[in-house]
Amino acid sequence: MKRLLLIMIAMVLALGLSLPVAPAVRASPDSMDVVSSNATQITKVYNKAGGTDNVVALSINAVEAYEPMQGPGGYPNGYTLDDTVVSLWDVNVQDDHDFSGAGADWIWETPHAEDPQSLVGARYDADASRWGRVVLFETTFDIPGNPTSATLHIAADNGWEAWVNSGTHYRSATVSGTGWENSRLYQADLNTSGWQNTGQPVIPAAELVNGTNTLYVLAGNEYFYNTPAGEGSGGTPPAYNADPYTQKNPGAVIFHLEIEYELVPEITINKTTDWTGYATIGDLITYYYDVENTGDTDLTGPGGTLTYDIVTDSLAGDYLTGPAYVGGDGEGAGSADGKLNPGEHWYYEATYEVQEEDIHHCQLHNIGTATAYYGEQEVTDDDEVYVDLAKIIILCAGRDEPVGTVTVVNNSGNLTVTYQTNAPWLMTEIHLQVSLDKDGDGIADGDEIPQTKKGNPIPGKFRENIEFCPPVDFWQVTYNLNEEGWVPCEDDLVIAAHAVVINNPGTACTPFLTNFSGANFLPCLTYKMMSRCGCIEEETAWAGGYCDTKPNVKFFVDNKWDYFNKYNKNPWANLYSGGNWATYFTYHVMLCDDNG
């Protein structure tokens, strides 16, 4: 007896299919369809030739199946590929779902029922029609939003199993259960006593994703003998005949997956800087902003306006230039249309000049914000950047020679002072006094910095009093705020930083090196002598004042400095009451445990 089984699948599909050959897709806002067609892929065949498993991996397209035309008693009376002809299959499913209206086609691995036995190769053998085959169809598609619901309409002649991604498996009532594809396709495993078996499983939205998905369909057709000897017990298998009108048992599957989804507008900003190390007053920091449309919709300015002005920065003001758009529209996934398309990047840059008030924090913290619109819906994102700040003061020798820097920074409950000289200068002595500004007047009083009766500092009585032999170009000391009793955000310090510096001797000093022990460094007792002989230059150096007599050094003009004096902004350059040129500077203790 010949029986036909139809399985019907309805799903609303996501926009844009991604297959070796693009499947038939019909898209509309917020809903989409995926349907069976000759673009559906066949990736595996469970071949029952010889009664044993012979699973073959494939990568071919499905073909449109010959559909049986209606004949007496509900049996086929000829076959057709003409979609305008209402076939017996179409009649049997028309009350369950309008597959043709959705654009779905009946498909199979070959157009004829007995065709496989005539094909050459590892896929089939001459006995394939006796034992049958189960075909695995796959359709890959993209959902351009968040899935909210899905329904699969499916029918087959004779049995089917379907699932999406790694989700729930749904089966027709005609198959025997899990593993049926590995069984012999007789009545016990593929029941065809009532072949018209359609299915409309609801696919949970959680089993689909925003992005790439795959629908899998296993379909099989019962195979039988022409003679009454019975299935699997003898008799004559149907002979192949190229004439489709003599087909004994055609097979096919048809499906339609309906998917509904919500479009998700989203924007992402990534803010960075190439600044490394500490920044201080007058430094220009460049910020970079990468804005990407990470959602599913085009984004514009308010009211649909086309604009690139979508990035702002929390440092906006007189000292921030930008953020300015520098490119990106039309690159990558976008088009040069003034809209931020899905997957498109726009790029921005800005520069900021560090100010004195910034140095009262451990870090320069700022936030970049991108704001765009999907219709009237505002879409925004922000990203933050931290740059470490320090008070950096010029170490000035002989009033007019910048020989290095003194850097003060506090973080993690400590305050660190660092001396660093520039070649060819080295330090033979340092003297450092860091004291609480007890009365908060910003003036180094005698009970804060050791001084003479006239009010000049006495470096030899400073807390740190160190000689170096050989000379060095780097020295650092760290104080614990709690142990010192310095309260963050409340206390100010007065800092006197002094050093004795020399020029690193060159070949002119070779006789002195030879005469005094022949060592590879200068014996400490020879520095003064070599200075008097003109071999090296020895100077006293202070941090906090202006190196104000050297050429090419710019002074305090319009609140801006460059060269070394950019670090020496008033009121940092403080003189003692004694009248000599020695200087000190102040420092506000900060709380630096919470990002500045």
Token pair, residue 381, equals 């994102």
Please check whether residue 251 is in contact with residue 314, taking contact to mean a CB–CB distance below 8 angstroms: no
Helix and strand tally (H, E) in the chain? 6, 33
The number of beta carbons lying within 10 Å of the beta carbon of residue 419 is: 25
Residue 444 and residue 552 in one domain: yes
Residue 548 and residue 469 in one domain: yes
CA distance 555 to 569: 9
Residue 43 and residue 130 in one domain: yes
Residue 313 and residue 361 in one domain: yes
In a domain, 596, yes or no: no
| pLDDT value of residue 350 | 98
Residue 131, H or E segment? helix 128-131
Please check whether residue 169 is in contact with residue 41, taking contact to mean a CB–CB distance below 8 angstroms: no
CA distance 79 to 66: 6
Which of 81, 67, 62 shows the shortest CA–CA distance to 136? Answer: 62
pLDDT digits (tens, 9 = 90+) for 401-433: 899 999 998 877 899 999 999 988 999 999 999
Which residues have a Cβ under 8 Å from the Cβ of 171 and sit 6 or more positions away? Answer: 159, 160, 161, 162, 177, 180
Residue with token string 């500490």:
278
Residue 338 and residue 194 in one domain: no
In a domain, 5, yes or no: no
Which of 307, 275, 274, 315 shows the shortest CA–CA distance to 291? Answer: 307
pLDDT (tens, 9 = 90+) of the chain, 596 residues, equals 223 322 222 332 233 333 333 343 333 368 999 999 999 999 988 865 555 566 778 888 998 887 877 776 666 677 777 878 888 888 888 888 999 889 999 998 776 544 444 344 444 444 554 556 788 999 999 998 889 999 999 999 888 999 999 999 999 988 888 888 876 665 556 766 555 578 999 999 999 998 999 999 999 876 544 433 444 444 444 454 445 445 456 678 999 999 999 888 999 999 999 999 899 888 999 999 999 999 888 999 988 888 899 999 999 999 999 999 999 887 655 667 889 998 999 999 999 999 988 887 888 999 999 999 998 889 999 999 999 999 888 899 988 889 999 999 887 789 999 999 998 899 999 999 999 998 888 787 778 889 888 888 899 999 999 999 888 999 999 999 999 999 888 888 999 999 999 886 555 555 544 444 444 455 555 555 555 555 677 889 999 866 654 333 332 222 222 333 333 333 334 555 445 678 888 888 877 654 44
pLDDT digits (tens, 9 = 90+) for 233-250: 444 444 544 454 454 566
Residue 195 and residue 308 in one domain: no
What are φ and ψ of residue 423, in 5° steps? -55, 140
The percentage of the chain sitting over the pLDDT mark of 70, rounded to a whole number, equals: 69
Region of residue 507 (left: phi > 0; alpha: psi -120 to 50; beta: else): alpha
Token pair, residue 132, equals 């049958």
| pLDDT value of residue 563 | 30
| pLDDT value of residue 460 | 92
In a domain, 273, yes or no: yes
Q: Is the peptide bond before 116 cis (omega within 30 degrees of 0)?
A: no
Residue 82 and residue 224 in one domain: yes
What are φ and ψ of residue 462, in 5° steps? -70, 160
In a domain, 142, yes or no: yes
| pLDDT value of residue 473 | 94
Token pair, residue 269, equals 């900003």
In a domain, 7, yes or no: no
Bridge partners of 394, per DSSP, are 405
Residue 378 and residue 440 in one domain: no
Which residues have a Cβ under 8 Å from the Cβ of 32 and sit 6 or more positions away? Answer: 12, 13, 14, 15, 25, 26, 141, 143, 259, 261
Residue 439 and residue 381 in one domain: no
Strand, coil or helix: 87: coil
The CATH number assigned to the domain holding 365 equals: 2.60.40.10
Q: Using the 3D structure, point to which of 341, 361, 388 is the last residue of a domain.
A: 388
Q: What is the DSSP letter of 396?
A: E
Which residues have a Cβ under 8 Å from the Cβ of 482 and sit 6 or more positions away? Answer: 413
Domain of residue 373: give its range.
267-388
CA end-to-end distance (rounded Å), the chain = 84
* Contacts within 8 Å (CB) and 24+ apart, 41-45: 41/137, 41/138, 41/139, 41/140, 42/109, 42/135, 42/136, 42/137, 42/138, 43/136, 43/137, 43/138, 44/135, 44/136, 45/109, 45/123, 45/133, 45/134, 45/135, 45/136
Residue 478 and residue 400 in one domain: yes
In a domain, 595, yes or no: no
Domain tally, the chain: 3
Q: Using the 3D structure, point to which of 196, 228, 262 is the last residue of a domain.
A: 262
CA distance 578 to 465: 21
| pLDDT value of residue 529 | 53
In a domain, 442, yes or no: yes
Which residues have a Cβ under 8 Å from the Cβ of 512 and sit 6 or more positions away? Answer: 505, 522, 526, 529, 530, 533, 535
Q: 378-411: b or e for each residue (b if 16 or more CB lie within 10 Å)?
A: ebebbbebebbbbbbbbbbbbbebbbbbbbbbbb
CA distance 232 to 249: 16
CA distance 164 to 399: 80
Q: Using the 3D structure, point to which of 234, 262, 290 is the last residue of a domain.
A: 262
Please check whether residue 10 is in contact with residue 152, taking contact to mean a CB–CB distance below 8 angstroms: yes
227 class by beta-carbon count within 10 Å (0-12 exposed, 13-18 middle, 19+ buried)? exposed
CA distance 250 to 153: 21
| Report field, pTM of the whole predicted structure over 0.75 | no
Residue 278 and residue 247 in one domain: no
CA distance 39 to 62: 7
Q: Which DSSP string do the residues of 262-276 spell out, in sequence order?
A: E----EEEEEEE---
In a domain, 17, yes or no: no
Q: Which DSSP string do the residues of 466-533 spell out, in sequence order?
A: EEEEEEESEEEEEEEHHHHTPPTTT-EEEEEEEEEEEEPP-GGGHHHHHHTTT-SS--GGGHHHHHHT
Residue 37 and residue 162 in one domain: yes
